[in-house]
Amino acid sequence: MVDYLIRRLLQTIPVILGVIAITFVLMYIIPGDPVVSMVGERYDEATIQRLREELHLDDPLWVQFFRYVGNVFRGDLGTSFYTRQPVMTEILNKFPKTLMLAGAAMVVAIFLGLSVGIVSSLRPRSLLDKGTMFLALVGISAPVFWVGLMLVLVVGVYLKWLPPTGFGGIEYLILPAITLGTRSAAYLARLTRASMLEVLNRNYIRTARMKGLPEWKVVLKHAFPNTLIPVITVIGTDFGSYLSGAVLTESIFGWPGIGRLALEAILKRDFPVIQGTVLFMAFVFIFANLIVDLLYGVVDPRIRTERRGNGNG
């Protein structure tokens, strides 16, 4: 297991280098001068030149690239052109908020998705099944900004049940979490239903029923755990994408997370922040995938055994 973990972590190094290289090249081939965003409209050329020198923007690209890579491995992601704050500080400041939102969205997705999927699978082709699967289809299809704005208007403005937007206690978290988690919930519901339907027809389930086990035990103990592999894959990748920032949800709800940080940086051509957030997102995705891989082993002992075999062999 430790061998496997080390191997996976080593595999991330070329991926990270690749991400840095691609972001770097993209940043420098697109037109536009980052200094323009810093100086306002009444600048003089001498100030522009001094700033370019201070930021090393006139250095050859490869010099800038290797300097950046060296700094990254020392834990320094540079300083924001715009706010003049260390990028790492800005990311670490935003990440807890994004983590909170992503966690809450995942709770919504897992709770709604799995429960609806299981219930639907128990009464296939019933009115309940058709109704919930139709809602799931709507959930998958509805654009995030539409769901968000509807929740703001209906729950926040007209019903006044919750603050429409903002950041603070749990009351501020509910609407963005529902907005962000709806699509995953809908997808999970359909996936869980399909997997459950397949598993419920297996022989071991029939055997369990013939043994006279109560239906809830058959479903939750024997059928449900066997549907988890695809479900974990979806949860893992969705969680990874939420952690790397949900730009639309964060913008609609005024949630100060990584997504808005990245968006603002792109609009202002704040190279160090763009590079820092992209790199951070790559880390998060790799880490989320690693967790998913490890969870496979927890859920399915066969995978664990197979890995051990590979590791020894």
Partner 1 sequence: MRKPGVLPVVALLFLLVGCGKEQSPDTLLLAYPADIRGFDPAVATDFRSGQIISLVYDNLVRFDRGTELVPNLARDWEISEDGRMYTFHLVTRARFHDGTPIKAQHAVYSFQRILDPTANSPQSWLFDRIEGAKIFMEGSASAVTGLVARDDSTLVITLEQPFAPFIQYLAMPSAAVVNPRQVAAINSIPAGSGPWRLQHWERDGELVFVRNREYWGQPPRLEGLRIRILSEPMTRSAEFEAGNLDILGITNMELNKWKSQAKWRDRIQTVNELSIYYIGMNCSRPPFNDVRVRRAMNLALDREKILKLLRSGSGLPASGPVPPVLLKGPAPEPYPYDPAKARRLLKEAGYGSGLKSRLWVAGDAEMFHVLEAFQSNWSAVGIEVELLRSDWNVFMTAIREGKPDLYYLSWFADYPDGENFLFPLFHTSESMRKRNRYSNPKVDRLIEKIQALSNGSQRDSLISVTNLIIHDEAPWVFLWHSQSNTVTQPWIKGYVPRLIFNAQRYTDIGKQF
The distance of closest approach from Cβ of residue 51 to partner 1 in the complex, given in angstroms and rounded to an integer, is: 6
For the chain, report the end-to-end CA distance as a whole number of angstroms.
13
Report the alpha-carbon distance of residue 18 to residue 21 in Å, rounded: 5
Residues with Cβ within 8 Å of 115's Cβ and at least 6 positions away in sequence, in order, are none
- Which two three-digit tokens encode residue 84? 């003049």
- Decide if residue 101 touches partner 1 (CB under 8 A): no
SS3 79: strand
DSSP code string of 124-175: TTSHHHHHHHHHHHHHHHS-HHHHHHHHIIIIIIIS-SS-SS-SSSHHHHHH
CB 35 within 8 Å of CB 48? yes
The footprint of partner 1 on residues 238-267 (CB under 8 A) is 251-256, 260-261, 264, 267
With tokens 């922040």, the residue in question is 273
- Decide if residue 50 touches partner 1 (CB under 8 A): yes
The distance of closest approach from Cβ of residue 162 to partner 1 in the complex, given in angstroms and rounded to an integer, is: 5
What x/- string results for residues 187 through 226 when contact with partner 1 is judged by CB under 8 A? ----------------------------------------
- Residue 134 sits at φ, ψ, to 5 deg, of -65, -45
252 or 286: CB nearest partner 1 = 252
The distance of closest approach from Cβ of residue 180 to partner 1 in the complex, given in angstroms and rounded to an integer, is: 15
Q: What angle do CA 135, 138, 141 make, to 5 degrees?
A: 155
- Decide if residue 272 touches partner 1 (CB under 8 A): no
CB 260 within 8 Å of CB 251? yes
What x/- string results for residues 147 through 186 when contact with partner 1 is judged by CB under 8 A? --x--xx-xxx-xxxxxxxxx-xxx--x------------
CB 156 within 8 Å of CB 113? no
Amino acid at 263: L
- Decide if residue 31 touches partner 1 (CB under 8 A): yes
What x/- string results for residues 58 through 87 when contact with partner 1 is judged by CB under 8 A? ------------------------xxxx--
- Decide if residue 26 touches partner 1 (CB under 8 A): no
169 or 301: CB nearest partner 1 = 169
Amino acid at 256: P
Report the alpha-carbon distance of residue 45 to residue 297 in Å, rounded: 61
- Decide if residue 43 touches partner 1 (CB under 8 A): yes
With tokens 């060296």, the residue in question is 70
Report the alpha-carbon distance of residue 8 to residue 4 in Å, rounded: 6
41 or 216: CB nearest partner 1 = 41
The distance of closest approach from Cβ of residue 239 to partner 1 in the complex, given in angstroms and rounded to an integer, is: 22
What x/- string results for residues 107 through 136 when contact with partner 1 is judged by CB under 8 A? ------------------------------
- Decide if residue 20 touches partner 1 (CB under 8 A): no
Q: Which residues form the interface with partner 1 (CB under 8 A)?
A: 30-34, 36-45, 47, 50-51, 54, 82-85, 90, 93-94, 149, 152-153, 155-157, 159-167, 169-171, 174, 251-256, 260-261, 264, 267-269
